[in-house]
Amino acid sequence: MTREPGSRDQAPLRIAYVLGTTAGGTGPHVAMLAQGCAARGMAVRVFGPAETGHRHFSGTRGNGGAPGGPPGFTAVAIGERPRPARDLAAVLRLRRLLRDWSPDVVHAHGLRAGAFAALAGCPGALAVTVHNAPPAGGAGRVIHAALERLTARRADAVTWVSTDLGARMRRAGARDGGQAVVAAPAFPAPATDQVAAARASLGEAGRPAVFAAGRLAAQKGFTVLIEAAARWQGRDPVPVLAIAGEGPLADDLAAGARAARVQVRFLGRRADVPALMAAADVVVVPSLWEGQPLVVQEALRAGRPVVASRAGGIPDLTGEDGALLVPPGDAAALAGAVLAVLDDRGVAARLGVAATERARALPDARDAVDSVAALYGRLRRATAGRIGQETRNHS
């Protein structure tokens, strides 16, 4: 289905979200935007891998996407790693789907999704949100740089989740759409019995509880956290380290903890992270890089003392007073900061108060949807103006 260019300003906005395989915060973020935009009367469809659909859009199958209705989800095999035959088939499928639906704006999340959308061709405008930093080295870094260049050339606007990513994309020549607003989902404060149950799962009573959560992947820095924990094993009582999450490094991290003789409770995927945070004496985010991590926002909202890496967008969330910030990858500094919280109630209390203050300034779902709605309006007006100019030039 196609529409005459002149009808776009009067019709409800039609938004197509494109994303790839995601196990972090990107999926919940896109789901929040899709649902929020649909609630405002826009027509919304989401295109991505079937696994992503099952995880984040399980209630929205088939075409869907009627104005004001729930967003529809359609499977497109946008894989995590390059596979030429599969990727070509996915680009051609996405091209057909976008041509048939004719959205005003295609909003891709992640560089691979952005590249697929750019190669598929967009009937309207293309916006891309960059969520991740490049890999540390090797072929992955070369591919990442190529995707940055392609996105910079083809996208009508590029938004970014941290200032370092914004600087990278501007250097690549991208049309800067500004910082993306990423909001953690709102959770009610856990009840007293929920906190008590969570504390029991963290370890024996009387032992200080150090808690971390995230995907068990290299970026999250849990190897560094275990190295830091090795430095406090001689204390009495020994602080207990608990990590919630699952991922490809689960076996390696467990083996590393055993080799270092570090007591770690690997909790797996948990639905009670707010209660676990409330039960912990300190929340640690040891990531080597992050954008606007949901775990930091959740810890600030819980009013917990936070120790985190000074990496990516973390300092933008915490400020200088909302957490103890340490260099990423520095196990000694990480251990020292954790022990500073555990050994000094004044430090812990000050950080808890500062976290609560910082949390008041964090964005919510409405802020995130306001931000993209304004971007989509600007892009539709720019596209309509460009089409109008092209029509006049050919008349």
pLDDT tens profile 280-325: 999 999 999 999 999 999 999 999 999 999 999 999 999 999 999 9
Could you tell me the two tokens for 231? Answer: 């430095």
Find residue 107's DSSP bridge partners: 17, 127
pLDDT at 63: 52
% the chain with pLDDT above 70: 92
pLDDT of 4 strictly over 60: no
Per-residue confidence band for 171, with pLDDT thresholds at 50, 70 and 90: very high
pLDDT at 59: 60
pLDDT at 136: 77
Q: How far apart are CA 129 and CA 326, in angstroms?
A: 27
Per-residue confidence band for 151, with pLDDT thresholds at 50, 70 and 90: very high
Give me the DSSP letters along 23-49: SSSHHHHHHHHHHHHHHTT-EEEEEE-
Taken in order of first residue, the domains within the chain and their CATH numbers are 5-183+364-394 (3.40.50.2000), 192-360 (3.40.50.2000)
> Please, which residues have CB within 8 angstroms of residue 171's CB and are 6 or more apart in sequence?
none
Q: In Å, what is the CA distance from 364 to each residue of 29, 36, 52, 187?
A: 11, 11, 23, 11
pLDDT at 135: 83
HSE-CB at 45 with a 13 A cutoff on CA atoms is 22
% the chain with pLDDT above 90: 76
pLDDT at 393: 52
Taking only the tens place, the pLDDT of each residue in 219-258 is 999 999 999 999 999 999 999 999 999 999 999 999 999 9
pLDDT at 70: 84
pLDDT of 208 strictly over 50: yes
Strands 125-130 and 105-109: parallel
Instruction: Supply the mean pLDDT for the chain.
Output: 90
pTM: 0.87
pLDDT of 5 strictly over 70: no
| 99-105: average pLDDT | 94
Helices (H), the chain: 26-39, 50-56, 84-101, 111-120, 139-154, 163-171, 192-202, 222-229, 250-259, 273-279, 294-301, 314-318, 331-343, 345-360, 365-394
pLDDT at 17: 97
State the CB neighbour count (10 A cutoff) for residue 278: 23
| 82-100: average pLDDT | 94
| 362-380: average pLDDT | 94
pLDDT of 24 strictly over 80: no
The CA radius of gyration of the chain, in Å to the nearest whole number, is 22
